[in-house]
Structure 1
Amino acid sequence: MEEKKFDLNSTIGFVLIFGIILYMFWQNQPTPEQLAEQEKAKQEQVEAEKKADTSKNQEETFVSSSEDFSNASVSDSTQLVSLQNKLGAFAYASTLPSATDTETLIETDVLSLKFSNKGGYLSEVKLKNYVNYDSIPIYIIKDGNALFNINFATTDNRILNTQDLYFQPTITKNGDLTIVSMKLKVSESKFLEYRYELKPDDYMFDFTIRSQGLNDIINGSQEVTLDWRLKTYRNAKSISYENRYTEVVFEYEDGKDDYLGQQAVTDDQANDVTYVAYKQHFFTSILLADSPFKTASLESRNLVEDEEIDTVFTKTFATKLPLELQGGELNKSMDWYYGPSDYKILNGYNRNLDEIVPLGWGIFGWINRYVFIPLFGFLSSFLPYGLAIVFMTILVRILMSPVTYKSYVSQAKMKVLKPEITEISEKYKDNPMKRQQETMALYSKAGASPMAGCLPALMQLPVFYALFQFFPSAFDLRQKSFLWAEDLSSYDTIAKLPFHIPFYGDHVSLFPILASIAIFIYMKMTTGQQMASQPTQEGMPDMGKMMKYMIYFSPIMMLFFFNNYASGLSLYYFVSNMITIGIMLVIKNYIIDEDKIHARIQENKKKPKKQNRFQKKMQEMMEQAEQQKKAQQKRK
């Protein structure tokens, strides 16, 4: 009953309201004279809208610039005087229709860009083909995290900043090129221009700063400074890992390159700078100059003090560059790059940009550039990325197996000689020099050397370090899955912890655990062999104890260190150590026979051993030292 009553009351209410509205319309209907006035006003409004549309189209295509000013003249004379007092000749720019905080959107195949009228610079840069760890599009610039400003003095003693002034945008086409011109006007024929030339499928585009007719307005006696700043967004799962590879890289003095490093606050000065790159691990912003900047002042500040709290930004970068006037005018040709830190893409520009990707210095970088990058590129062209890592690891270990064999043979020789070395140590325990002479003589006769086992390890070091640099820099691994790892360029997760462990994180990664187990087994095998072959010498550290500690310390260190590292790197170390273990078992059980090695050593000891010049010199020095020691003992 209550529901029906409510429905009835509602119906009655709607009828009453509708009736009242009809009555009001009837009561207030216009007279014939009022209708004539309304029709006239309507015609005038249509004509005004047509003019406004024409003006808007002219503003967008910039067919007639002179009309822009006339349509937006400042009616308030007080406001105009105030602008002129504040901005001088540049007050004109604030009277134009473009003097608003609007943005112009331009899209290419790979970039989505917004150009701000205020400041004339890029206020938003989106990489259209990439998303971050949380499936959000990659924005290099967004929500005011970047600044691009020119600071200059005027001849009427004003200090102005382009970031505070309004530019007028023009968009034109020239074939495949999209040209965006942002002009800061003093008059229709005098202006400061930012000119961007965009290609349809390219992360790099031309950028020119030039002025026209400002030679009597810009004060040439004071420095014109370009200020470029960027607060870098976090894009990866592990902000601390990403931050480790987020840095300023720059080229200077005809091809030299350097970086600011990872300190909390770091700065540097450089001369003849040709480019400055703000590298965000897998994404990079680069300002390149056709002719070098005379100097550059660079700064980097770390924003991640606590990775549980500081979760949005990684670092803030700042660069100040002087702009030279030529005949009182600015004319600087440059390029912008906003895109991936992909070695293949950067290297393709042939402007030394491959140095931005940290592949290692010297031989390490050479190995990555000419061996691992081409090899991995070939394998990943027909294999899933995870399998490409496995196959590359197998190839590397097979190629390094002769080194592993020599290392193991050397350890076997030392193991066979250990009883004799122990006997020498006991015999000459009171005469260290004689003990050393006899030990070296035994090594020489037997054709063995304690250093022979170290040399193969040293030979593997360049490969080890090169791969350590390769995997964190391999852009192709980004967001590629394998087994339980969702992203081979980031850590894998098999369990999420309800708390944060210092230096470890708030998650458990399986690949580092497997790699740690594999390296423990490998070290148990190799270190056990070395401990069995290395005698403890008086006065020397007990290497056996040190190696025993290392067997446990190294896997634990790897477990903690790699928990936040790229899972592709942990996968490589796991597979590499397992293959090495397999190779060593084959060598031990099927190739090396310790009895044969012992027999060969005994034969070598019978043969006269020819000494080289260095060995002769060392023996003479040791004999002289022995004679001097005996003489001193006689005098006593």
Structure 2
Amino acid sequence: MEEKKKLDISQIIGFALIGAVLVWYTMTQKDKAPVKEEAQIENVVNVPENNNEITVVTDSLANAQAVKKYGEFAYAVANGTKENGTTTLENEVLKLVIANKGGQIVEAQLKNYTTYNQAPLFLIKDANASFNINFGTFENKIINTKDLIFSPSTNKNGKNQVASFKLKTANNNYLEYRYELKPNDYMLDFSVRSVGLENVINSNNKINLEWDLTAKRQEKSIKYENQMTALHYEKEDGKFDDLSVGSKDDEIEENVDWIGYKQHFFSTILTTNTPFEKAELTSESLVNDVLVDTIATKKFSTVAPLKLANGALAYNMSFYIGPNIHEQLASYDKGIENVMNLGWGIFGWINKVVFIPIFNLLSEFISNYGLVIILMTLVVRLLMSPLVYKSYVSSAKMKVLKPEMDAINAKFPGKDNQMKRQSEIMALQRKSGVNMMAGCIPALLQMPVFFALFRFFPSEIKLRQQPFLWADDLASYDSVFEWSTNIPLLSSFYGNHFSLFPVLASVAIFFYMRMNQGQQMSMQQPAQEGMPDMQKMMKMMMYFSPLMMLFFFNNYASGLSLYYFISNLLTLTIMFVIKNYVIDEEKILAKIHENRKKPKKQSKFKQRLDDAMKQAQAQQAVQQKKKKK
């Protein structure tokens, strides 16, 4: 009985243990089932987020698309470079935006200048410029860098900002554009070089640099601005030239050092230390009607072949993007100051040596540029007053001799005595100490000054947007009245506005010519038979010249008209003082009588002239005898 009781207890404990195991097993299986299901869901969700796997898929797709679009130069895009990305270089005066696409400048702002309507002034913006290198590859593909994506990077070279743009085929194989901008400078260092592309660039094909720019309107007078906008260049021998400012012109030049796209007061100039062996240059005017709202003046284009050196490109260049200031352009010692048309020969020399220094000196002390022009005019007229004096003295001498010259004309009348009459008059002038050319020489000496100033005022950027009296811009026309109606012929030549300064200048030059010609006519000899009537011609010029100035200067810089107005007023005043208070005709006559008493030494030139006159008289006498027979 006791043993049975023990067995029952053992069974009970065994069943309890078995039950506990079953319960544990059941609970364990229930826990495992949800865990397994949850893990499966997590794997499904996380597959797209597997970084390694998705990167491989995406990179493969990007590589395929990039290679299809850019060929062997797809490296930058395939490695994440943005096609529309840009890099900015900026100093105190210049702001440049350079695009990844093409590695070229897409914006160039001159920070210290504005357009005629006070908008920020951009020489490059809105795709008006393009810089491209065109070449062929060994895979028989034609590459245009302007269509490809460059990898950008920036760094510093001292205080200079540097931007490097590399068009890569591999990490260490590339075509590089390198830009370096200095502080407070408009000159941008620029270099082109290739590294490791000897098996890519096919040297058997042409490698061309292509540089285009459409000059946008910056000034008030589109007609005047277009006349002053041109393509300039300098060849290796130091000679510089420009294309015509007309409708279209093109040239092919050799050994070109620099090419400048001049836009009146501003220029974009490309220079190279390795001269272009040949450059195809084109300029085309885009202004068809000055009365139509025109946004561009000219389209410029350059195509220049590049050479490989040891299978690589290596060109050190520079871009000047800035204002046309002579002393600043000259400071680079590249000859680019010749982009400014200050006149050829002696005219340009006078501007560089005389007028620019005088103008700069006066403008340092006087802020009103209208007053600067007036003071500069005063200085020029005072310096030239001795020439005016000599011209008037010569005229006075001729006036004193006029009675004797009239007597000679009466003694030898008619066409047959023309040579004898002229010989006697010359002898009288020589005996009296009067040089018949003395009155012409001072006038001729003043002509270079006139033409030099004609080039100086349209080129002086300091006058730009400077007001004076009713003129709001001394570098452009002044306008006191405008109209919108297009008047045939008149609108083409005169414009659709009325400028007051040209009117004042025309009135002043009329009275100057009237006073001057009155002096000349008082000593003028009667018109000889077969010879033009000089008195009639002088009268015509007295009315024609002011009229031409009135029409021509209506669209010109008001600063130039202001100068001529003040200059003619001062000349009239100087002439009036000389005539009425300096020159004494009685003293001149007495001087002439004294000269006649002195022995005269005849120069070799005058001797040859006399011999020629005598020979002509002898031939004339022979012809007269033949006629009588």
* Correspondence for 1:322 among 305, 310, 331: 305
Q: 1:260 to 1:189 in 2, by over 3 A?
A: same
* Correspondence for 2:540 among 514, 530, 549: 549
Report the alpha carbon displacement of residue 263 of structure 1 after superposing the two structures with TM. 2.3
Report the Cα distance in structure 1 between the residues aligned to 2:450 and 2:194, rounded to whole angstroms.
Answer: 53
Match of 2:448 in 1: 462
Report the alpha carbon displacement of residue 172 of structure 1 after superposing the two structures with TM. 2.1
Report the Cα distance in structure 2 between the residues aligned to 1:190 and 1:338, rounded to whole angstroms.
Answer: 31
* Correspondence for 1:477 among 463, 486, 492: 463
Match of 1:59 in 2: none
DSSP 3-state at the match of 2:283:
strand
Mapped contact 2:67–2:73 kept (Cα < 8 A)? no
DSSP 3-state at the match of 2:74:
helix
Which aligned pairs between 1:229-268 and structure 2 lie closer than 5 A? Answer: 229-268=212-251
Q: One-letter code of the match for 1:189?
A: N
Q: 1:72 to 1:114 in 2, by over 3 A?
A: farther
Q: 1:169 to 1:402 in 2, by over 3 A?
A: same
Match of 1:398 in 2: 382
Q: 1:74 to 1:426 in 2, by over 3 A?
A: farther
Which aligned pairs between 1:607-626 and structure 2 lie closer than 5 A? Answer: 607-626=598-617
* Correspondence for 2:79 among 96, 112, 117: 96
Match of 2:472 in 1: 486
Match of 1:6 in 2: none
* Correspondence for 1:113 among 83, 96, 99: 96
Match of 1:507 in 2: 497
Indicate yes or no: 2:299 matched with 1:282.
no
Q: 1:549 to 1:350 in 2, by over 3 A?
A: same
Report the alpha carbon displacement of residue 311 of structure 1 after superposing the two structures with TM. 1.3
Mapped contact 1:245–1:281 kept (Cα < 8 A)? yes
Mapped contact 2:396–2:585 kept (Cα < 8 A)? yes
DSSP 3-state at the match of 1:329:
coil
Mapped contact 2:62–2:78 kept (Cα < 8 A)? no
State the Cα deviation string for residues 497-529 of structure 1 (Å, max 9, x = none): 233522111111111111111111100100111
Report the alpha carbon displacement of residue 488 of structure 1 after superposing the two structures with TM. 1.3
What TM-score does the superposition give when structure 2 sets the normalisation length? 0.87
Q: 1:73 to 1:424 in 2, by over 3 A?
A: same
Report the alpha carbon displacement of residue 218 of structure 1 after superposing the two structures with TM. 0.5
Identity of paired residues, percent?
52
* Correspondence for 1:523 among 509, 513, 523: 513
Q: 1:633 to 1:358 in 2, by over 3 A?
A: closer
Q: CA RMSD in A?
A: 2.5
Match of 1:152 in 2: 135
Report the Cα distance in structure 2 between the residues aligned to 1:70 and 1:314, rounded to whole angstroms.
Answer: 52
Q: 1:627 to 1:391 in 2, by over 3 A?
A: same
Which aligned pairs between 1:28-107 and structure 2 lie closer than 5 A? Answer: 73-75=59-61, 79=65, 82-83=68-69, 87-107=70-90
Match of 1:441 in 2: 427
Count of equivalent residues: 576
Q: 1:331 to 1:419 in 2, by over 3 A?
A: same
Indicate yes or no: 2:163 matched with 1:172.
no
* Correspondence for 1:590 among 560, 581, 584: 581
Q: 1:633 to 1:238 in 2, by over 3 A?
A: closer
Report the Cα distance in structure 1 between the residues aligned to 2:423 and 2:477, rounded to whole angstroms.
Answer: 53
Indicate yes or no: 2:322 matched with 1:339.
yes
What TM-score does the superposition give when structure 1 sets the normalisation length? 0.86
DSSP 3-state at the match of 1:155:
coil
Unaligned runs of 5+ in 2: 1-37
Q: Which has the larger radius of gyration?
A: 2
State the Cα deviation string for residues 71-125 of structure 1 (Å, max 9, x = none): 9624278646634xxx442233442322523333332221222111211101111
Q: One-letter code of the match for 1:298?
A: L
Q: One-letter code of the match for 2:402?
A: K
State the Cα deviation string for residues 208-230 of structure 1 (Å, max 9, x = none): 11111110011011111000000
Q: One-letter code of the match for 2:154?
A: I
Report the alpha carbon displacement of residue 313 of structure 1 after superposing the two structures with TM. 0.4
Mapped contact 1:99–1:167 kept (Cα < 8 A)? no
Report the alpha carbon displacement of residue 371 of structure 1 after superposing the two structures with TM. 1.4
Report the Cα distance in structure 1 between the residues aligned to 2:607 and 2:183, rounded to whole angstroms.
Answer: 72
Q: One-letter code of the match for 2:519?
A: Q
Q: Which moved more, 1:351-360 or 1:398-407?
A: 351-360
Mapped contact 1:247–1:260 kept (Cα < 8 A)? yes
Indicate yes or no: 2:203 matched with 1:220.
yes
Indicate yes or no: 2:362 matched with 1:379.
yes
State the Cα deviation string for residues 38-77 of structure 1 (Å, max 9, x = none): xx99x99xx99xx9xxxxxxxxxxxxxxxxx979624278
Report the Cα distance in structure 2 between the residues aligned to 1:416 and 1:408, rounded to whole angstroms.
Answer: 12
